[in-house]
Chains A and B, each alone.
Chain A
């Protein structure tokens, strides 16, 4: 009984498309378990809307209001641009960020090149040393530079008459702080190249420099753009470094703080926030575009490149890498060293005074406890929320119209500098008419803010892991009439545990080190370690500040080691089913 296919035009089928008009396509009824999934997804999206979108919108509104809350149109913008000191900050922020990018990208590229394309020894060690700045608040570099080259710095003489405070110090410190971020991206980009391209070029007798220009650079192109965007954005929106070592050199990120906290001028603060959002939004858009192109370069059949020993080249690369590593260690080491020095620069005997008197007896140690608490909450609830939301987005069905919105809210936070997010939070939650006003000044708001601040990277890690597991697990479960949460806890979570740990570790370390967003939100009871460093430095107690910074670095490092062992233990436990 072969059916002759005929166009359905004019047939009297209910729901068929016809020339007369389209009738809505049928939709499957939802099972009650699907409805629970939809409800949870709506809830997750609503959470992101309230704790990410609403604060941002409030900034836009505040920019159009004067101090009393009356609508003034673009008056705040006009007065802002007519204040020369403020308008100067735009220029300052831009050229400092461009300069940092121009310095860091070649340096990091060379380092990444050495790690991926040479046969130097101790690659893992070199890489870990280069990554150390990630474990510390960005301003650690600034504090170290003050100990090296500041007014009482031990190497001040090297600078002659010049001062480290100001643009010079900012650029140098930012170079250290951004180096690992650029390095991570570039190492990945350089690892992606297919060895067979090189073999083909080699077979054709192509000289080394030409292979570099025609294969290596084009292959790493997107990585380079992406790394440049990340460094530029970081430099543009970092608060800690210009605050500590900037002196009178004003940048947008410090202006926001001064305007809002110092002068309580919310309107102008909002204007700066919007100004900061614009270039970041552009770089973010470029980066998103680049990421999309990048993934197309990867093919499953590529053969990984294995470098061949080459004496002179390896020696040169080795020398360069160890030089960079030495500088990194000098930077980190100085802050640690200074934290034990009894009385800089007069008495260099080692003591725990800064820890005991500067932190514990001054009642500031509590800030450290708060930071660990915050980090622990982010690493647990944050990771669970991010992963759960990503699962609902990727693996459940229903509420198709709502999904793109939630997906957008999940990837946008990366494009919002911490200072702007913090500003939005303060504007949004300080209003007493807001039913969520009670959160203001609590630990909860710090936790939520930090999770949102670092949402995107965590979300993308979760999505990548979820995409790697078979898409048909959910289909099979449904055919067996097993509701999605059973499969979630019996299969998805165990399989994705490594990614879940990675998210948790990432949130923990960032919660320990972040300054920018939370600097607006802490209350006397919820001061954080990273914020305490800023305050100690401002009070001139730089010894205690370095002690606190050291505590943060050590904690982050220990936690990373703990996660590493947890991961190893897990690998061993799950080895039976992971591969065979």
Chain B
């Protein structure tokens, strides 16, 4: 592991209330220079509010914001240093693409020739070199959003804020633009915050993800950490498909789910608790090479089978467990085991794939 870069943006105990509603409760966070940090959470979790506070479009009720060593907590947006991109693109409809991109340059008295050169360079950078004389309405949604990004980075801001930039686009364009934004961000090495409710977007684009819920941070981590080792049941449930089963401690290293017992690694303090939740991913369920002696294995009845292309999702019912489980099987596994609804199948979940939480208020 290399040494992590210095913190570029630091939030200290940021709080936001709207009347008696607490939109953000004491959020502290640091964003490293050059990374793409993603705020992920369901609508109303406070992620957009937090972004708007960083932009100075909302004012925090308490707390400090430090950008590049400078306290910007009370600075108006015009004194801060960022470029912003909105879901709605917010391109000026009556100005040409070139005029849109040059909008911030004009005011900084950049000489005309240099301005034109910079606009051409930016348009090439976002892959639309010939769009200069067109109007926004003449471009597709994805193209407009690329122009919005070009406009935001035209003045070379220290921070790029992306507020659900892909949510208004259709699925195909979204996937393509995801990669383009990411590679652009890495090439420019600009510190970037991306707000999204789309976990796939967060997992594919971010260096680190901040999972938020009810105005609080649930977990901060790399996409891999957040997916593999969710810190809370909420994160486990929100990011990716999940089996989350109620369980009780059954002595050291064992939990009881319904009438079945499973081995797992957990905090000793959980041994006697009855309000636990066990978490594992559908792809953690194994069928290949599972026999009667395989640890954590059980017989399962296939209730349903959903074909999803490269893999299929089974709905399984285990003896003595009320809640159905889901398991993802590759096309190969499916062909080999000839699974069809009504069949009985022996399945197992490796010990190190089970994670145990104390059930929260969820």
Binding site for B on A (CB under 8 A): 1-3, 5-8, 11, 13-17, 25-31, 33-34, 470, 472-473, 475-483, 486-487, 490-491, 494-495, 574, 576-580
Across-interface contacts of B107 in A (CB, < 8 A): 480-483, 486
Interface majority SS (helix, strand, loop, mixed), chain A: loop
Separation of A505 and B68 alpha carbons in the complex (Å): 52
* A34–B79 CA distance with the chains assembled, in angstroms: 12
* Chain A residues whose C-beta falls within 8 Å of the C-beta of B63 in the assembled complex: 13, 15-16
State whether the Cβ of B61 lies closer than 8 Å to any Cβ in chain A.
yes
Bound Cα distance from A483 to B104, whole angstroms: 10
Are A17 and B62 closer than 8 Å at their CB atoms? yes
B49-87 CB contacts (< 8 Å) to partner A: 55-57, 59-63, 73-80, 82-84, 86
Partner among A16, A479, A578 whose Cβ is within 8 Å of the Cβ of B77: A479
Q: How many residues of B contact A (CB 8 A)?
A: 57
Q: Are B151 and A28 in contact (CB under 8 A)?
A: no
Interface centre among A25, A29, A475, A479, by most chain B C-beta atoms within 10 angstroms, is A479
A16 to B24, CA, bound (A): 12
Establish whether residues A7 and B231, one from each chain, have CB atoms under 8 Å apart when the complex forms: no
Neighbouring B residues of A491 by C-beta, 8 Å = 92, 94-95
| Residue in chain B with minimal CB distance to A469 | B93
Residue of B nearest to A480 (CB): B104
Is the C-beta of B47 less than 8 angstroms from some C-beta in chain A?
no
For B154, list chain A residues within 8 Å (CB).
480
What distance in Å separates the Cβ of B233 from its nearest Cβ neighbour in chain A? 14
How many inter-chain residue pairs (CB < 8 Å) link A and B? 155
Q: Is residue B284 contacting chain A, with contact meaning CB distance below 8 A?
A: no
16 further contact pairs, Cβ within 8 A, besides A27-B74, A29-B74, A580-B135: A2-B220, A7-B26, A11-B26, A16-B26, A25-B17, A28-B59, A28-B75, A29-B79, A30-B76, A472-B86, A476-B84, A478-B78, A479-B77, A479-B82, A480-B104, A491-B92
The CA of A16 and the CA of B61, in the complex, are separated in Å by 7
Query: Smallest distance from the beta carbon of B182 to chain A beta carbons, Å?
Result: 21
Instruction: Give min CB distance, B142 to chain A, whole Å.
Output: 15
7 pairs of A and B residues whose beta carbons are closest in the complex: A480-B104, A5-B216, A478-B77, A577-B135, A472-B90, A16-B62, A15-B62
> Does B73 lie within 8 Å of A480, measured CB to CB?
no
B41 within 8 A of A: no
The contact sample of 30 A-B pairs, CB cut-off 8 A, is A2-B220, A2-B231, A3-B28, A5-B25, A5-B216, A11-B26, A16-B15, A17-B61, A25-B59, A26-B59, A28-B74, A31-B76, A31-B78, A33-B78, A470-B90, A473-B90, A477-B103, A479-B83, A479-B84, A479-B161, A480-B104, A480-B151, A481-B78, A482-B103, A483-B107, A490-B92, A576-B135, A576-B138, A580-B135, A580-B137
Closest to B89 in A: A470
Q: Which of B79, B94, B151 contacts A476 (CB 8 A)?
A: B151
- CB pair B79–A482 under 8 Å, yes or no, is no
State the CA gap A28–B231 with chains docked (Å): 35
In the complex, A470 Cα to B152 Cα: how many Å?
16
Q: How far is the CA of A491 from the CA of B93 in the complex (A)?
A: 8
Instruction: For residue A497, give the distance in angstroms from its CB to the closest CB of chain B.
Output: 9
A31 partner, pick from B28, B62, B79, beta carbons under 8 A: B79
| Chain B residues engaging chain A, CB cutoff 8 angstroms | 13, 15, 17, 25-29, 55-57, 59-63, 73-80, 82-84, 86, 88, 90, 92-95, 103-104, 106-108, 135-138, 151-152, 154-155, 157, 161, 215-221, 231
Give Cα A472 to B135, complex, Å: 18
- A578 vs B95: C-alpha distance when bound (angstroms): 11
Report the minimum CB–CB distance from B192 to chain A (whole Å): 14
Whether the Cβ atoms of A580 and B138 lie closer than 8 Å is yes
Judge whether B92 and A13 touch: CB under 8 Å: no
B residues less than 8 Å from A17 (CB atoms): 15, 17, 61-62
Chain B residues whose CB sits within 8 angstroms of the CB of A30 once the complex forms: 76
- CB distance A13 to B13 under 8 Å? yes
Given A8-B25, A25-B62, decide whether A2 and B218 contact each other with a Cβ distance below 8 A.
yes
What B residues does A578 contact at CB under 8 A? Answer: 93, 137
- CB pair B55–A29 under 8 Å, yes or no, is no
Q: Which residues of A contact B135 (CB under 8 A)?
A: 576-577, 580
Contacting residues, chain A, for B75 (C-beta < 8 A): 28-29
Considering the chains assembled together, what is the distance between the CA atoms of A476 and B83 in angstroms? 8
- Determine whether the beta carbon of B62 is less than 8 Å from that of A14: yes
**What is the distance, in angstroms, from B34's C-beta to the closest C-beta of chain A?**
18
Closest-CB distance, A562 to chain B (whole angstroms): 23
Cα distance A192–B357 in the bound complex, in angstroms: 53
Give the CA-CA distance A5 to B95 in the complex, in Å. Answer: 45
Least Cβ–Cβ distance between A213 and chain B, in angstroms = 40
Is A490 a contact of B137 with CB atoms below 8 Å? no
**Cα–Cα, bound, A479→B73 (Å):** 15
CA distance A109 to B253 in the complex (A): 78
| A495 close to B94 (CB less than 8 A) | yes
Q: Once the chains bind, are B86 and A11 in contact (CB under 8 Å)?
A: no
**A11: B residues at CB distance < 8 A:** 13, 26
Q: Which chain B residues border A479 with CB–CB below 8 Å?
A: 55, 77, 80, 82-84, 104, 152, 157, 161
Contact call B92/A473, Cβ cutoff below 8 A: yes
A284–B217 CA distance with the chains assembled, in angstroms: 49
B13, A16: Cβ atoms closer than 8 Å: yes
User: Which chain A residues lie closer than 8 Å to B106 at the CB level?
Assistant: 482
Give A577 to B86 CA distance when docked, in angstroms. Answer: 20
Q: Which residue of B lies closest to A574 (CB)?
A: B94
Which residues of chain A have C-beta atoms less than 8 A from B13's C-beta? 8, 11, 13, 16
Closest to A472 in B: B90
The answer to whether B15 touches A472 (Cβ under 8 A) is no
CB-based nearest A residue for B107: A482
**C-alpha spacing A408/B343, complex, angstroms:** 71
